[in-house]
A and B are shown apart, each in its own frame.
Chain A
Amino acid sequence: KQEVTQIPAALSVPEGENLVLNCSFTDSAIYNLQWFRQDPGKGLTSLLLIQSSQREQTSGRLNASLDKSSGRSTLYIAASQPGDSATYLCAVRPGQAGTALIFGKGTTLSVSS
């Protein structure tokens, strides 16, 4: 059974710092991995999607990497800003046949000015 773990559960950093959020999954046979952002009491916003054949994806100050063989992904946020404060969720799609996502519990990020 696929399980997704995110460490740390919470992170506080000062503005301007570069930071890394971690995601690990137990079964390396994934179809893709997606990072989401969730603001308090809101829905999820897709940030980056990495296909199983890819190593990384970039969007602005965000860079996500994928090491499928070791069951790990990282989300790198450069020059963090207070507006980056949110919960970041990692989710894997186990296979091509199914479309369901399996989520981690998230990392809650707080960036202070």
Chain B
Amino acid sequence: SQTIHQWPATLVQPVGSPLSLECTVEGTSNPNLYWYRQAAGRGLQLLFYSVGIGQISSEVPQNLSASRPQDRQFILSSKKLLLSDSGFYLCAWKAGATDTQYFGPGTRLTVL
């Protein structure tokens, strides 16, 4: 069966510090991968998605970036965090031929 992991589960970082969140998927090959952010009082917002290694599409302009160094690994990064980057970050995957997206447990990021 397929599983999706995210770490860390929680993170508190000062403004201006770098960020690296990791997501890995097990039990499937060549998944579509997604990064979403859920901020307080707002809906889930798609940040990045990837249909293959090295292929990243950005949905919104921001100081975040994403990379996919391996087939089942998706990384969200920032060089300098802003207060507005605080939120709940969710990684998701789906098999290319199917429609259902499956979500990871999330990372709660607080920028102080």
Contact = CB atoms under 8 A, between A and B. Distances in A.
B90 A44 contact: yes
Main secondary structure on B side of the interface with A:
strand
A105 B42 contact: yes
B99 A100 contact: no
B42 A32 contact: no
B100 A49 contact: yes
B90 A43 contact: yes
Interface stretch (B14-22, B43-51, B62-70, B75-83): B43-51
Contacts, number: 55
A46 B102 contact: yes
Interface residues of A, number: 24
A100 B92 CA distance: 11
A45 interface: yes
A89 interface: yes
B106 to A, nearest CB: 5
A4 interface: yes
B34 interface: yes
A17 to B, nearest CB: 26
A52 to B, nearest CB: 11
A24 B23 CA distance: 31
A101 interface: yes
A109 to B, nearest CB: 17
Of B34, B43, B103, most A-chain CB atoms within 10 Å: B43
Given A43-B106, A99-B32, A89 B101 contact: no
A42 B106 contact: yes
Interface string A78-89: 000000000001
A42 B88 CA distance: 9
Interface in A25-71: 31-32, 34, 36, 41-46, 49, 51
12 contacts: A41-B108, A43-B6, A43-B90, A46-B102, A49-B99, A89-B44, A99-B94, A101-B46, A102-B46, A103-B43, A103-B45, A105-B43
